Amino acid sequence: MRVAQARSSTEFLRRTNSILILRALRERGALSHTDIISETGLASATVSAITAELTHAGIIEQSEQHTPGARGRPRVLLQPAQGCGYLVAIAISSDAVQFSLADYSGRLLDRFYESRNQTIKATAPFVSLLRTSLERICERSQITDRQILAISISSKGIVDSARPVLLWSPIFGDGQIDFADVFAQYDNASIILKNETALVAGALGTRLPLGQLGLAVVSLGHNIGLGLVRAVDGETQTLAPNFSHMLHLPNGARCRCGANGCVEAYAGFYAILRTAFEVPKDHIPAQFVPLSEIDRIADSARRGDRMAGFAFRQAGVALGQGLSRLLSLHGRMPIAITGPGTRYYELMRDGLESGLAETHVVRMHGVPEITLVEGEAELVFEGHKASALERIDEHILGK
């Protein structure tokens, strides 16, 4: 019994140390034996044993660095083996789907977009699009189904915490999608589904100063997303509360989820459009509003149009009051705002700060630090890579 326990403990330690080394190589690039020791804190003998094993298995590979004019043997560097396996990241948005292919080192190899009809809520045509596009990725890069080790999908909405099932989304409503079934033929791949803003929060969370307790990330666009990063018992926890459909006003404006008075029904792009043009609050919301339309409303607001300005201020108030409830529950923390709606932040800021002031935490300690973060799409891809490549590490080391 003790022998079995010791073997199990040794195997667990070996896997943990292997993942530490792989993570260091992926984050820092090609490293020497000495660099790996410095990055991981592992003993030289441990690094030697694990890197030899990973090299023999084809998981990492060696390269030589020649220094011009230097004497002696060239410096040997180690890095993840690019052909060890591949990750496909699928980012689902209101009007398009982005497909990205990365190798085991995290290097982007291919990317393309497929537009989708925003008025069609049926899931069957979308599933067909996903399968066809994944076949296209394999053909373009000349890889096989078996070489794909992770398929990572992101969407706004509610995802199952235990299975890759989209339970509800602003795109498909109650039309659920089981991605394990969609991609059943890729039986060598881990199928991962994450809320989009949770991935952004996870990516930004890695940049937090040491000791910072948390971060709230708000995505402004056709939909409103919220990602929350917290430190719990020494571990970083990333959450995606259903902030967008939290109640803002009882019996308020109609939301795309079918309820009335949600935060999104006042802060989403369709809500800004509705308020600016004084459309009745019970009117069926537009499924998709082109960014150019919101740009025109913003231009009117900046020129002094009363209703256009009111539409953006009302969006800010809804966001601020929603965040004030969040801070009351989780404590004061910095807020990062991302998404295409950041270009209108100056029109929302006064309303947002007014809404935040509704909570005692803000009245006591002031408005938390608010930062605008550009490049949401790349942050989503960073989040895909971080979670999926870690899953691939576990998959490979478990073999």
Average pLDDT, the chain: 90
DSSP 149-169: EEEEEEESSEE-SSSSEEEEB
43, 100: one domain: no
**Angstrom distance (rounded) from CA 153 to CA 342:** 24
Residues 185-191 have a mean pLDDT of 95
* pLDDT (0 to 100) of residue 190: 95
Read off the pLDDT band of 309 (50, 70, 90). very high
174, 264: one domain: no
DSSP 316-380: HHHHHHHHHHHHHHH----EEEESGGGGGHHHHHHHHHHHHTTSHHHHHH-PPPEEE---HHHHH
213, 294: one domain: yes
360, 390: one domain: no
Per the model's pLDDT, the better-predicted residue between 56 and 116 turns out to be 56
Asked whether 147 and 189 are in contact (CB, 8 A), the reply is no
194, 252: one domain: no
Residue 98 has pLDDT above 50, yes or no: yes
* pLDDT (0 to 100) of residue 68: 63
Read off the pLDDT band of 4 (50, 70, 90). low
Instruction: For the sheet with 177-178, list strands across it.
Output: 158-159, 165-168, 177-178
Instruction: For the sheet with 370-372, list strands across it.
Output: 235-239, 224-232, 214-220, 335-338, 370-372
Residues 132-146 have a mean pLDDT of 95
Q: Is 285 helix (H, G, I), strand (E, B) or coil?
A: coil
Residues 233-255 have a mean pLDDT of 90
The per-residue pLDDT for range 337-385, each reduced to its tens digit, is 999 999 999 999 999 999 999 888 888 888 999 999 999 999 999 999 9
| Residue-range definition of the domain harbouring residue 355 | 208-374
**Angstrom distance (rounded) from CA 3 to CA 149:** 33
* pLDDT (0 to 100) of residue 399: 59
Buried b (16+ CB within 10 A) or exposed e, 225-253: bbbbbbeeeeeeebbbbebbbbebeeebb
* pLDDT (0 to 100) of residue 47: 93
Residues 264-291 have a mean pLDDT of 93
Beta bridge partners of 216: 228, 335
The helix-helix angle for 291-302 and 269-276 (nearest 10°) equals 50
**Angstrom distance (rounded) from CA 232 to CA 238:** 10
Instruction: Report long-range pairs for 126-130 (Cβ below 8 Å, ≥24 apart).
Output: 126/172, 126/177, 127/177, 127/182, 129/97, 130/90, 130/97, 130/182, 130/183
213, 321: one domain: yes
Residue 221 has pLDDT above 60, yes or no: yes
Give the end of a domain, one of 48, 80, 112. Answer: 80
Per the model's pLDDT, the better-predicted residue between 312 and 23 turns out to be 312
Residue 209 has pLDDT above 70, yes or no: no
Calculate the alpha carbon distances from 301 to 285, 286, 346 in Å.
21, 21, 11
Residues 179-186 have a mean pLDDT of 97
Residue 235 has pLDDT above 90, yes or no: no
Residue 118 has pLDDT above 70, yes or no: no
CATH of the domain at 251: 3.30.420.40
72, 93: one domain: no
Give the end of a domain, one of 80, 105, 139. Answer: 80
Calculate the alpha carbon distances from 268 to 235, 287, 345 in Å.
33, 11, 13
Per the model's pLDDT, the better-predicted residue between 330 and 92 turns out to be 92
Residue 254 has pLDDT above 50, yes or no: yes
392, 273: one domain: no
Q: How many domains does the chain have?
A: 3
183, 101: one domain: yes
Question: Based on the number of CB atoms within 10 Å of its own CB, is 210 exposed (0-12), middle (13-18) or buried (19 or more)?
Answer: exposed
Residue 72 has pLDDT above 80, yes or no: no
Q: Which amino acid is at 41?
A: G
* pLDDT (0 to 100) of residue 3: 47
Residues in Cβ contact with 374 at an 8 Å cutoff, skipping those fewer than 6 apart: 338, 342
Give the end of a domain, one of 59, 80, 101. Answer: 80
320, 235: one domain: yes
- Report DSSP state, residue 85: -
Read off the pLDDT band of 149 (50, 70, 90). very high
Q: Is 263 helix (H, G, I), strand (E, B) or coil?
A: coil
Read off the pLDDT band of 119 (50, 70, 90). low
Read off the pLDDT band of 58 (50, 70, 90). confident
**Angstrom distance (rounded) from CA 174 to CA 259:** 13
Residue 182 has pLDDT above 50, yes or no: yes
CATH of the domain at 53: 1.10.10.10
Give me 137's structure tokens: 């990725």
Read off the pLDDT band of 162 (50, 70, 90). very high
Residue 63 has pLDDT above 90, yes or no: no
Beta bridge partners of 173: 169
Neighbour count for residue 358 (Cβ, 10 Å): 16
Give the H/E segment covering residue 200. Answer: helix 196-205
Residue 70 has pLDDT above 60, yes or no: no
Beta strands in the chain (DSSP E): 60-65, 75-80, 86-92, 96-103, 108-115, 148-155, 158-159, 165-168, 177-178, 190-195, 214-220, 224-232, 235-239, 335-338, 370-372
* pLDDT (0 to 100) of residue 66: 66
367, 255: one domain: yes
Residues 34-42 have a mean pLDDT of 92
38, 138: one domain: no
Give the H/E segment covering residue 44. Answer: helix 44-56
The answer to which of 144-153, 193-202, 204-213 has the lowest mean pLDDT is 204-213
